[in-house]
Amino acid sequence: MNLFHLSNMQIVFAQNPLGFEWHHASPEQAQIVLIIVMALIISFFLVKQLLNRIKMKENQRIVALAKMRKLGLSNNQIKVLNYIMKLNRLSFEKETSIKKELFENSIGNLIRSLENKQVPFENILNVCKDISLTYGKLYHTAKSAIKLIDPKEIDLSQIIFFTYKNQANKVFFGKIVSIEENAIIAKIFKRQHSTDFLKEDSTINISMWRVDDAEYYFTSNAKFNSDENDTLEISIPENFTRGQELVRPYIDVIIDCELTPIEKSADPSEKKPLSQEVIIGRIVKMNDNEAVLLIRQKLSPEEHYWFDFTISDFRFSFASKVIASSFDATTYTSQSTLEFRNMSPAALRVIKLYLDSLM
């Protein structure tokens, strides 16, 4: 075999029996190639590990969102919780809960950040609503669905927010800690700026949102107690206003159902069919209290039906009343709205969770 060398170069060519030559790499060149190969292999594994972490983080986020949905949080309320967790350097994906004290202490920072960004005051009030409902769903377990008749019926730990006449565009938060004979005592969640102006007796405008109920608001005299808890003594108002109800809008669904005619005067907790007829329909829209159905039959308003359908392996069976109905003769289809009657708390809870998961 003939070998030859180029001067000043460690490149060796060898000739094989077929008559062509190939390159023999020098040790330096072999090292360079080995380094490149090792770099490619390491890069491959690093990229793969990064993609796995991204996928894992996304899966954790999906699980966290599912947990939040089960608590009944809307998209805006999840954003509020996510922001507060970031303020406390917590990972939304890894930790789906936050201590109540941390949440309370972070509200002032959240409101102040909105003010610094010059967010319109009306929008800040909308955020206050979401803060109130988020807090209520996470920490306040009282049965808020019952309408308030008297101010003294306000639940302990109910979160409130209020404005003060000398600070009309500043919002303050607090929670009810006790109710006395002539006053409601609330603990104020601290803000960074001073609350010295509250030390004088004055009039404040108070709002509160109760989970599964409505907004309540009233105006009352208040006195700031500069103790270690920074409490506010609010005179019990003679009356208050029940404002906007928390009614969920219709959500699109596709659920097969059955209707059985029942007596109008019958006890809604007992199924007393008028006949053996079973009407097959499909639920296309639903909220917590009503359902919109498509049926191949004309229904008349005020008729009562026993309503049967299944969601997530939970069998619903309760009385309902037709409150609206329209009939299209061309397609021979009736679109009817049914109001739920005498639904059990467990059934209502399942519907709420189901609808929350679709929002």
> CATH assignment of 251-358, given 2.40.30.20, 2.40.10.220, 2.130.10.10, 3.30.428.10?
2.40.10.220
Confidence band for 132, pLDDT divided at 50, 70 and 90: very high
How do residues 255-278 score in pLDDT, each as one tens digit? 999 999 888 776 667 777 777 889
DSSP 38-71: HHHHHHHHHHHHHHHHHHHHHHHHHHHHHHHHHT
Mean pLDDT on 177-203: 74
How do residues 321-359 score in pLDDT, each as one tens digit? 998 888 887 888 889 999 998 888 888 888 888 887 776
CATH class of 72-245: mainly beta
Res. 198: pLDDT tops 70? no
The pTM of this model reads 0.62
d(CA 144, CA 48): 49
Which helix (H) or strand (E) segment holds residue 323: the answer is strand 314-328
CA distances from 143 to 184, 205, 210, 237, 265 (A): 20, 25, 9, 23, 30
